[in-house]
């Protein structure tokens, strides 16, 4: 009697944070739609945000399921523990729960577990999959260049003793842009902080994987992929596969407006290419002083703007990372007195959240003030919109270098004061005008449109991203046919 053939089934463990969950959802959607793969997305009961639920709630039934690991205690961590320390602590303390879940899926799912994918902050979980005999991959939702720097972190720690920002020369990795030490990921900037050693171990944990599935595309990082392939061929690293850009397709403006997003109706009334969109991602937060300076700068620039504003936080520029939405009236109350009235003819301020993909794709939007999170970077490339780079945390300074004149050329950069790190109002006004109506902005706009076409070609059916993901799925299918994986080795 012929054995039943089941669709490959993969388990993806995602880090907390909307910026991590969203590309996992898009990856799972494409696996189901184009490659016949079913997925279980695993999230954490600890450090979860209510903002995660919309993307998870919209998943297609039958092909993508979700599971949440039980919450673990982290109240023994210092109150000022770095956000990555908190996340990685949850990852490590949740490993027994993950092992139990994988064992259950291996035993109960018709296809077992064909492969296990760990998000970029969860490579410690690869050891669990290895013990259970499941092929293991890292899903890396940022650039290949930033992955290269994290892989290099253990060597950097071994061969240097100074702080990254004090490195005497640039860090030059094969196929990557030269990076100043201060532009490396923010958690490695202070050796005395416990998060530093955690990042070193993160780089070592990556070496357990069978491959890296990266949310980028070859035309964006061709030289980096060529250099990485040489290292992979020598057995230094597992191979990397460019499956991006994993960017959600926009719905129509009318649908968004009907759902209550008044910003789309407002944009419909603005001239083509005239609006500067201002948003610092799902977790970015400005100080009270910086909020005032941004408001004054936007007003002085004379440019039309759509600003997604948040309640200021003077202690933490990623204070919104785990939080839900604040009360809108409370948020607007932190803006300078009279600002909304004075700018109502040219600007709109939206509290907490707006439909970014639809905004960037609107004909009226001509520029984007961005924190340079990788999801936002890919979304602005897909829309062909130039950027005013304003990085805040994580790998955003590195992304700003990548998007800027040293790299892709679609971004200008704001300059902060050395004494307090604040971008002053006159700098905001000048940079906004330059991006929207200046010569440098025009050059960046041309570069953005060129990248838009490259991103489109990468994503078309049968294109590079589709072929790369198909190659990975084929490997999963071959692995699933082996007796060890089929039986759930290590159970």
Active site residues per annotation? 20, 119
H/E element holding 457?
A: helix 439-459
Q: Which of 148, 187, 184, 146 is nearest to 378 (CA)?
A: 146
Rounded to whole angstroms, the Cα distance separating 348 from 308 reads 9
Rounded to whole angstroms, the Cα distance separating 279 from 266 reads 17
Q: Which of 11, 63, 1, 26 is nearest to 378 (CA)?
A: 26
Structure tokens at 335: 């803006």
Rounded to whole angstroms, the Cα distance separating 97 from 120 reads 19
Structure tokens at 396: 């955003």
Helix axes 144-159, 194-205, angle to 10 degrees: 120
* Local structure of residue 274 (DSSP, 8 states): -
Q: Which of 439, 438, 450 is nearest to 410 (CA)?
A: 450
Helix axes 18-35, 464-480, angle to 10 degrees: 80
Q: Residue 303: helix, strand or coil by DSSP?
A: coil
* Local structure of residue 394 (DSSP, 8 states): T
Q: Which of 136, 143, 148 is nearest to 208 (CA)?
A: 136
SS (H, E, C) 134-171: CCEEEEECCCHHHHHHHHHHHHHHHHCCCCHHHCCCCE
């Amino acid at each position: 009697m012929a054995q039943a053939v089941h669709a490959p089934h993969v388990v993806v463990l995602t880090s907390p944070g909307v910026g991590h969950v969203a590309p996992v959802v898009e990856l799972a959607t494409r696996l189901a739609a184009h490659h016949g793969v079913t997925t279980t997305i695993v999230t954490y009961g600890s450090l979860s945000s209510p903002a995660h639920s919309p993307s998870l709630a919209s998943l297609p039934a039958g092909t993508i399921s979700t599971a949440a690991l039980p919450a673990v205690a982290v109240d023994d961590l210092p109150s000022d523990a770095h956000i990555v320390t908190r996340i990685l602590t949850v990852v490590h303390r949740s490993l027994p729960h993950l092992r139990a879940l994988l064992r259950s899926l291996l035993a109960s799912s018709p296809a077992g577990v064909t492969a296990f994918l760990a998000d970029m902050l969860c490579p410690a979980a690869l050891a669990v999959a290895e013990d259970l005999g499941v092929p293991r991959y890292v899903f890396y939702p940022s650039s290949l260049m930033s992955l290269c720097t994290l892989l290099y972190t253990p060597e950097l720690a071994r061969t240097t003793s100074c702080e990254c920002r004090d490195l005497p020369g640039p860090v030059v990795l094969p196929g990557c842009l030269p990076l100043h030490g201060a532009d490396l990921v923010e958690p490695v900037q202070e050796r005395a902080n416990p998060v530093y050693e955690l990042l070193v171990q993160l780089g070592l944990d990556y070496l357990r994987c069978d491959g890296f599935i990266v949310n980028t595309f070859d035309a964006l990082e061709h030289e980096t992929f060529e250099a990485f392939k040489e290292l992979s061929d020598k057995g230094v690293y597992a191979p990397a596969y460019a499956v991006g850009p994993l960017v959600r397709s926009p719905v129509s403006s009318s649908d968004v407006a009907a759902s209550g997003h008044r910003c789309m109706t407002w944009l419909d009334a603005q001239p083509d290419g005239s609006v500067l969109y201002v948003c610092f991602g799902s977790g970015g937060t400005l100080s009270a002083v910086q909020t005032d300076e941004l408001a004054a700068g936007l007003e002085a620039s004379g440019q039309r703007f759509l600003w997604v504003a948040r309640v200021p936080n003077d202690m933490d520029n990623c204070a919104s990372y785990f939080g839900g939405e604040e009360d809108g009236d409370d948020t607007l109350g932190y803006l300078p007195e009279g600002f909304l009235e004075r700018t109502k003819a040219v600007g709109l301020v939206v509290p907490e959240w707006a439909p970014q993909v639809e905004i960037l794709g609107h004909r009226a939007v001509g520029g984007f003030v961005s924190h340079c999170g990788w999801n936002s970077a890919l979304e602005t490339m897909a829309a062909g919109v130039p950027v005013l780079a304003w990085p805040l945390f994580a790998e955003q300074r590195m992304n700003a270098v990548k998007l800027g004149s040293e790299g892709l050329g679609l971004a200008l950069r704001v300059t902060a004061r050395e004494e307090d790190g604040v971008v002053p109002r006159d700098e905001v006004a000048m940079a906004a005008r330059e991006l929207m109506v200046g010569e440098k902005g025009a050059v960046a706009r041309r570069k953005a449109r060129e990248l838009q076409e490259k991103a489109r070609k990468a994503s078309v059916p049968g294109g590079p991203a589709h072929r790369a993901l198909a190659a990975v799925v084929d490997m999963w299918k071959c692995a699933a046919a082996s007796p060890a994986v089929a039986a759930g080795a290590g159970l």
